[in-house]
Structure 1
């Protein structure tokens, strides 16, 4: 009885989280209403069944011990593993919580990482923020036995967004106590990619020499700017610095400054610069957030340590808009880094850069460059008032 009740509570909590995610997605991306509505309808049907069977489940006594599962033959297991690994179709096997249990070579290539790295990661982390809520709802529907699901989605891999068609199928294996889900990835059925910002970097810029030259150019331009900008109009200088980075290195640039020694809670948002095609009012939403109230830059301001997210796993780390929707999801973020502005007397602020999912992810080399720029900006800030 207690186990059934605990399981029911877990299902209701998970359903509530998915409904909130779908509501936020619909609020931020009304143009995707069809895909979001289909996922919401599946959740509604499940809620109806859950309510209808809740009384029966709570009253049902414990059943007898399940029949012992017959272990699979070793030969069959080896054969199935070989077939799985050699399939030319990208496939991923997920456990009942959505974590990657196994992935074949084609699937690892599709996600842009080694199988050993991908195993144990939540599959949702490799889905673009805009499509993540719908995918999680369909995954839950498949796991509870509503049949296979077919959906158009988008992967966020290596910092690039790629449209893909996902087929989710529930598997019942005699050696597993919980059902698994097989995810097959194929080209989108529509044959056309979603509209979005065009990639700003060509493939040649992946070459080490070109990237190194570009980083040196950014650092040189920033140094010149800071040497010219050490004037009482420091807010304007910070906006100029943010403009330079947004023009050449990121889509969104946020600079937060601590004018008082009280720490992160006293920080103010000094500059916010975004792309020219950002929706009206989006910059003001980012500017209105209190820096110390969010994980980023709150943690950078408090601990003085840099943070790098090549892939955005938690879209709430930069805070939420007034309606409760995660800001990073609204920005279409693909990767993020945040570094302290370190002056002669400690951390004076934080510099946060965001790239959308249509651009290459930030790397360790990018983090090193921005850390150096952050230190230069910190040293150029005027002293705190006594």
Structure 2
């Protein structure tokens, strides 16, 4: 440092002064020392002010990063997460302290993982912005929708430890949400049309086949599991249990279907209440004792399904309840809405009228 060098030179001059006979020389050196010390003091004060300004600037950048209204991630050259903001942690459903140090690729769902690694390598090698449409894995309650990731290299190519900024395109995300909102009425209209055709064609097939086809259609379009119970001889009897084919957990799905088939619906508080009152339920309490039935089987399947969502409506004609339609979704899907319930009530009326023919 320049200060250290000046101090050493001053020390040498003081040593030479001990042999000098004149006092004037000593006073001159002391005056020089005072000036040099003053310059050093001013330099130290200036450095202190600069350090405080840098600290304030870093705190401002840190706060702005964490308060950005969309998810942001900073990765190193190996793809490890070095920093993420509040919305990024919320998207992944994990605390930021647990996410830091993990490969970002583990949060990308498997079908897009290799593509993400290739895109990251291209961004690092060519220093060009990159983009990737994918879906992220999350521990949050709801499964994140498909997203558009934007990758940008920070710093110039010769940098030894490059960083990559990963952001979500807010416009693409908003456009996707708006598109989904616009498509929902069309999907409901399409489902009503398909169910009407199914019921008309099912007149020749008979009740059991018609209900089986209806349950399969609803499981494919609206829920992960569909249960239909009918009133027979004054008691509820299980008629149909349908699950989505090719779901993410095939063995577990088959187990749930088998257990649901074995449960006596007469022991279900939800089914008996809906048949008695004819009223629908938007939020079926799957975890409550007796909601689906009694016994070990009902308790076991309730434990598997309770993190999810369920809605139930009556199968009815214009005068009485003929049965119950129960729809169940896994927790990685959206909860049922009032619009969904209105659609299922209309489908329940169509099914009831078809059963009465």
TM-score (norm 2): 0.49
Higher helix share: 2
Higher relative contact order (CA closer than 8 Å, sequence separation 6+):
1
TM-score (norm 1): 0.46
